[in-house]
Amino acid sequence: MNSPHPVLFLVSADSGCVRADPDAPHVSVMDLGVTRGDGIFETISVCDGRAQALEPHLDRFARSARLLDLPEPDLGLYRQAILAAIEAHDDLAELYVKTVMTRGIEGTGVPTGWVYAAAAADFTTARTEGIRAVTLDRGLRHDVAQTSPWLLQGAKTLSYAVNRAALREAERRDADDVIFVSSDGFVLEGPTANVILRKGSTLVTPRTDQGILPGTTQASVFEFAQAEGMNTEYAVIPAADLLSADALWLVSSVRQAVPINRLDGVKRSIDVELSTSMTSYLLDRRD
Amino acid sequence: MNSPHPVLFLVSADSGCVRADPDAPHVSVMDLGVTRGDGIFETISVCDGRAQALEPHLDRFARSARLLDLPEPDLGLYRQAILAAIEAHDDLAELYVKTVMTRGIEGTGVPTGWVYAAAAADFTTARTEGIRAVTLDRGLRHDVAQTSPWLLQGAKTLSYAVNRAALREAERRDADDVIFVSSDGFVLEGPTANVILRKGSTLVTPRTDQGILPGTTQASVFEFAQAEGMNTEYAVIPAADLLSADALWLVSSVRQAVPINRLDGVKRSIDVELSTSMTSYLLDRRD
């Protein structure tokens, strides 16, 4: 039975994937996912029924689990739940699927897992007209993932309160989104997106050893660019390079690539042609 | 009916305080508390049936809500739920009560709240023999609460994955707990505790404008010290002062004051006499 409402599957080693009522509560008040934000997630875009970058998302899910010393997620079970949730959901043009695994109820050592599919918001305006971004200091040096792994930079954890607070700060500054900058002045990432700069015929994104999340959509954009004959580069990028770049994007699952039309209150031209073909490429991805 | 098991009350503007089964799930998989660690909490110690520092905890709960731009919690309702949970729990010598408020299910704008009381672990050994601590870099400067409020330093949020990761790092280093140090070399706090140093007849703790949580137990320790004729001081404390201090404690609700007997692998003498009278004072608190 297809549903226009979110479709939920609970995932556990004991019971496998079990469909459940998304309107009913399924998480204990003693679950470390909620009491400590202690868990991991992935958000996967689904276009015309196809989960995009599914294997890179599952790989990153497993990588986040390792960074948090969580039990290894059973990727086969999560893959099964993702496909089942998409199958059971109404066949809309764009959905998203969220996968979550928490450390479970305190003292049990048994993770809590679930997957749900839901209708994606309409991001057409953001994709075509762009968004306003502000730079905010993330307070951490660009090398903390190496020096201080307990800060969990580069892991996709449920502890996202700071990312949400940064988005509220952006709103206070009349903007839509954020580019985090390290305390020593390097471009990092957005709260839920990677940053891409165009410099001439080269696309550049921050190197992923700087405590930022390796982007599944960013990787697809680089594939696209290479196919178009452009150069791609992972680099340590001084914040000043944002000003001199020819164009800027935030790229992420679901919202895909959105050009930045204003940075820290200063208007920027957007690269309409490249944005359009980038978006087409991303929406058409078959895996 | 009293219970040796956790006692749970759900708290909402619509229904007030409603007792609920702690073994049943009560949180939606769409609740921002679990998907984003977007919410706040307090943990309150209960000795011989008395909630300790109840009003300071409730004040701090409201303060955290403000720092996260959450709706103001109805402290009257939370107070009622806390007292009801204690009343309904078996009358053990030491309990703890946890209060939680999340931003609620995404899109609703209605917070999710609950309170539960449960038996406290036995911390006698830690209180009398002390614990081993390591210093870890928190990666942030000591002044970020002023410069970058979106980093939510000083708010007691559900996004505690880093605090948990720091404790795992401590375990890897054969230690029990952590003292976070700022990236510019000042003493901050533990993942779930405040730090107190004794220098002669003065107790010193880090100034709370450094992005650390104002400690309810630390405040009680300072009251105790003043009553004993000692000096108390809030200061910006260089990390090197940890080495020269006469004694060190981590103080928090429930575990109360625990002396540090080893710091970064180096044995330290503990101040048995002061620790003993400090613990007696803390356990005997009437409000």
Give me Rg for the CA atoms of chain A: 19
List the beta bridge partners of residue A101. A40, A113
Q: Are B99 and B143 members of one domain? A: no
Spatial separation of the C-alpha atoms in residues A9 and A130, rounded to whole Å? 34
What is the DSSP track for A167-181? HHHHHHTT-SEEEEE
Q: Are B114 and B136 members of one domain? A: no
Ramachandran sector of residue B16 (left: φ over 0; alpha: ψ -120 to 50; beta: rest): left
Pick the closest to residue A21 from A100, A114, A101 (CA basis). Answer: A114
Interface test with chain A among B164, B169, B171, B179, by most A beta carbons within 10 Å: B164
Residue B2 belongs to a domain: no
Provide the CATH number for the domain around residue A199.
Answer: 3.20.10.10
Cα separation values, B58 from A132, B62, B72, B194, B257, Å = 38, 6, 11, 18, 21
Q: Are A161 and A218 members of one domain? A: yes
Q: How high is the mean pLDDT of chain A? A: 96
Q: Which residues neighbour A281 within 8 Å (Cβ) at sequence distance 6 or greater? A: A220, A221, A224
Distance from CA of B101 to the nearest CA of A (A): 10
Residue finishing a domain among B120, B136, B162: B120
Q: Helices B216-227 and B272-284: crossing angle, nearest 10°?
A: 110
At B207-226, the pLDDT tens digits run 999 999 999 999 999 999 99
pLDDT, residue B4, reads: 72
Put simply, the answer to whether B160 touches A38 (Cβ < 8 Å) is yes
Q: Are A57 and A198 members of one domain? A: no
Q: How far apart are the first and last CA of chain A?
A: 25
Please provide residue A82's backbone torsions phi and psi, each rounded to the nearest 5 degrees: -60, -50
Nearest-by-Cβ selection for A140 from B29, B32, B139: B139
Residue A32 belongs to a domain: yes
Residue A1 belongs to a domain: no
Residue finishing a domain among B120, B150, B168: B120
Nearest-by-Cβ selection for B161 from A138, A157, A163: A157
Residue A151 belongs to a domain: yes
pLDDT, residue B286, reads: 78
Q: Are B57 and B145 members of one domain? A: no
Helices (H), A191-246: 216-227, 241-244
Q: Helices B75-88 and B54-67: crossing angle, nearest 10°?
A: 130
Pick the closest to residue B41 from B115, B151, B152 (CA basis). Answer: B115
At A91-128, the pLDDT tens digits run 999 999 999 999 999 999 999 999 999 999 999 999 99
pLDDT, residue A287, reads: 73
Q: Are B82 and B30 members of one domain? A: yes
Q: Are B151 and B173 members of one domain? A: yes
Compute the average pLDDT of residues A79-87: 98
Distance from CA of B114 to the nearest CA of A (A): 8
Pick the closest to residue B146 from B236, B38, B33 (CA basis). Answer: B236
Compute the average pLDDT of residues A234-238: 98
Residue A72 belongs to a domain: yes
Spatial separation of the C-alpha atoms in residues B244 and B231, rounded to whole Å? 18
Give me Rg for the CA atoms of chain B: 19
Q: Are A44 and A27 members of one domain? A: yes
Q: pLDDT tens for chain B, 287 residues: list them.
A: 466 789 999 999 999 999 999 999 999 999 999 999 999 999 999 999 999 999 999 999 999 999 999 999 999 999 999 999 999 999 999 999 999 999 999 999 999 999 999 999 999 999 999 999 999 999 999 999 999 999 999 999 999 999 999 999 999 999 999 999 999 999 999 999 999 999 999 999 999 999 999 999 999 999 999 999 999 999 999 999 999 999 999 999 999 999 999 999 999 999 999 999 999 999 998 77
* Cα B199–chain centre separation: 24
Spatial separation of the C-alpha atoms in residues A101 and A112, rounded to whole Å? 6
Put simply, the answer to whether B34 touches A31 (Cβ < 8 Å) is yes
Spatial separation of the C-alpha atoms in residues A8 and A97, rounded to whole Å? 10
Residue B34: count other Cβ atoms within 10 Å of its Cβ: 30
Give the H/E segment covering residue B171.
helix B161-172
Residue B192 belongs to a domain: yes
pLDDT, residue A2, reads: 60
Sign of the CA dihedral running A241, A242, A247, A250 = positive
Put simply, the answer to whether A37 touches B69 (Cβ < 8 Å) is no
Q: Are A177 and A213 members of one domain? A: yes
What would the two tokens of residue A137 be?
């200091």
pLDDT, residue B90, reads: 93
Do residues A180 and A190 lie in contact, with contact meaning Cβ atoms separated by under 8 Å?
yes
| A286 pLDDT tier (thresholds 50, 70, 90) | confident
Spatial separation of the C-alpha atoms in residues A27 and A266, rounded to whole Å? 44
pLDDT, residue A84, reads: 98
The residue type of A82 is I
List the beta bridge partners of residue B157. B40
The full length of chain A comes to 287
Residue B1 belongs to a domain: no
List the beta bridge partners of residue B20. B8
Q: Are B250 and B198 members of one domain? A: yes
Total domains, chain B: 2
Q: Are A135 and A153 members of one domain? A: yes
Q: Are B112 and B199 members of one domain? A: no
Put simply, the answer to whether A165 touches B26 (Cβ < 8 Å) is no
Residue finishing a domain among A96, A120, A144: A120
Environment class of A12 (CB within 10 Å of its CB; exposed 0-12, middle 13-18, buried 19+) = middle
Nearest-by-Cβ selection for A158 from B22, B34, B151: B34
Distance from CA of B113 to the nearest CA of A (A): 10
The residue type of B177 is D
Distance from CA of A155 to the nearest CA of B (A): 10
Asked whether the ipTM of the predicted complex exceeds the cut of 0.90, the reply is yes
Spatial separation of the C-alpha atoms in residues B116 and A142, rounded to whole Å? 40
Q: How far apart are the first and last CA of chain B?
A: 25
Domain span including residue A72: 7-120
Provide the CATH number for the domain around residue A41.
Answer: 3.30.470.10
Spatial separation of the C-alpha atoms in residues B271 and B254, rounded to whole Å? 20
The helix/strand/coil state of B146 is helix
Give the H/E segment covering residue A263.
strand A256-263
Nearest-by-Cβ selection for B116 from A29, A34, A139: A29
Ramachandran sector of residue A250 (left: φ over 0; alpha: ψ -120 to 50; beta: rest): beta
The residue type of B227 is A
